[in-house]
Structure 1
Amino acid sequence: MSRRCHGVSFRSRSPRSARRGAALACVFAGVLVTGAATGSWPEAAGSTELPVATGPVPERAEAGDDARELVSRSGDRWAAAYSAEEYQAVELTLAGEYVGTGIAVLSTAEGRIVVGEVHPDSPAERAGIVAGDELVTIDGVPLAGRPVTDAVGRLRGSTGPEPSEPGTTVLLGVGRDGATRQVEVERARLAARPVTVTRDEPGVTRIHVSSFVEGSAELLRAAARSAPPEDGIVLDLRGNTGGLLAEAAAAASVFLDGGLVATYDVRGEQNALHAERGGDTDTPLVVLVDGGTMSSAEMLTGALQDRNRAVVVGTPTFGKGTVQLPVVQPDGSVAELTVGRYATPSGRTVGSGGIAPDLVVEPGQDAEERAGNVLGGLAAGR
């Protein structure tokens, strides 16, 4: 792919634009729902230590300080420093694997950390942990009121000076039926499950993508193709911490027939990401987002929104529109430094306010139900 920015002109897509506008008008006019919803954070994607936008291969510095000294002097809020061992764990995660217990967690409105899902045939499943269990403590540390990402990091063992290896253990205080028991769970090397599919109501296939690791786009394509022909699709990007720019662009190709996905610069050199031709442009599509939707997930959201391919529902996204480049230091440590920003097809850059949804889900409303109602409006306008 050329790294030069190419001008792209869009042909009018008035039928879809009209359908989308009519559906939004219908939704804003009178859809009222109640409830609550939160996103689920898997160990494979929920750690704040993961790079959320990488594309070029790591550069190698000829001379200089170690990564931590470089990052501390940079003033770059998105910069991150890794030892050589830590960055090996990062690369493992981006390749679709991780070291952990197999637990996906979510935070309740009361601030409790609850098991949302247990990876089949994982150490957690073998230890008897099930969805709905509350994680009260991890290695003796109380979790009440702590960010969900802190729980994820402790499950993975990524909060210490060195990442945990397969075979290490973590002691969990697990609450169930009013009682708390201590469960020791061994960490293992597991395959990430970045794409999951649910169909809880007729006409709606919900595809949740937790991160854009290698292979995510192909899994998304397979999930979309397997949806019943009468269904619309809710692309759930809540809690998606980002990942590889190329995977996010390939994910856009699932729903676009060519055209611009985003532009980005690397130290002033302009680049462009394009969708491949042949994507599904007819199936009604809603993108569900929240404050945990970050970086390349925001890029995908902005592309589908700007191209009038989807209605975006939820709450404003995180607001990270920067691109990081890993630079290997002489001692083997790695500094990830911001080298540029990306822009959506209409030229929007993603600032601290994030991407505003077309339809905001208010506190107390059920985000998934809201998305389903919007999808029904889109289907009616086909």
Structure 2
Amino acid sequence: MAQIELIAPTLFGLEALTAKEVRDLGYETISVEDGRVTFRGDEYAICRANLWLRTAERVLVKLGEFEATTYDELFEKTKALPWFDWIPEDAEFPVKGYSLKSKLFSVPDCQSIIKKAVVEKLKQKYNQTWFEEKGPRYQIQFSLFKDKATLMIDTSGEGLHKRGYRENANEAPLRETLAAAMVMLSVWKPGKAFIDPFCGSGTIPIEAALIGANIAPGLEREFVSQNWDRVPKDLWWKARKEAHEQIKNNADFHIYGSDIDPKAAALSKENASLAGVEEYITIKQLPVAEIQSQEEYGCIICNPPYGERLGEIKEIEKLYRQMGQVFKKFDTWSYYILTSHEKFEDHFGKKADKKRKLYNGMLKCDLYQYFGPKPPKTSAELRMQNAENLTIL
């Protein structure tokens, strides 16, 4: 199979995590830029990346990249790309994209020019004067940034954050890709205690359970490229078989979630069941003041309310002060708190060990990271370390 350049768009702040995921799948990263990771793979990589990437938003095939400062230039250079390598005669191929800091700033005009150029290219290949576009969908995407045009085809369809388990959500749901990133940025590992005291629709506990059991996040959903001739169905079957075989069916861990809202607690339970991870998760209706654990070490990972609406700020700041008091009980735990409130530390009563800028949709947030002491090594870990030392000697 030929090597293909693929692009994994990400939420801002998650690029390094996505790049690591790509490398863990065995693929070479070409570049890591704001909001995207470019890597090299083949048709099988399209299947595996769609199934496994937890923090990417999509998987795109990169058709080409070039400078374009006039519409003639955009047309001719788009037309020169090998569209017929991917798009069959009966395909539906709409165009969408964006333009930032570029001379070609009109998105509708760029859409029209790119569409016309692709049609002209396909006319040459298929000897057609008209395309009905009733077949499989090949969504063409373009970006124009500082006069550099990048042309791509979307292999995912719906965004990768749509895992398929969250048919219903609460009022302000956390995107699944961001929830997975919060877990991956923490020190939590299966077997370590885990609490989310603001679980909402259950996204953080569910993503943690998927990670703990090594379940591919895209395993239970469909992708638009499953209908493409270029990506044979046997590759999808092979990739899904591989993913099923890598599930840790006997994983030993448990995750606790709670929410003061009974509807949110019920929704979390429902979504955990839809995700197939209900055996790993316990959800209760509780105010944050009542959370507790017998475990000496663990992680609290949460996305509390931000108070974005007028009139909510004082109430939210009171909640943050309450969190500061409650979390003192967990003085040997680590906790990771996502909020857009710039004065969070002042109200929480403790400065974070580390802050990381992330975006919840278009909303700039910070992940406040508080590191507890490292737990002592277990007997099994000590035996493993001794065995490794003997091997080195």
Per the normalisation by structure 2, the TM-score is 0.29
Structure with greater proportional helix content? 2
Structure of higher RCO (CA pairs closer than 8 Å, 6+ residues apart): 1
Per the normalisation by structure 1, the TM-score is 0.29
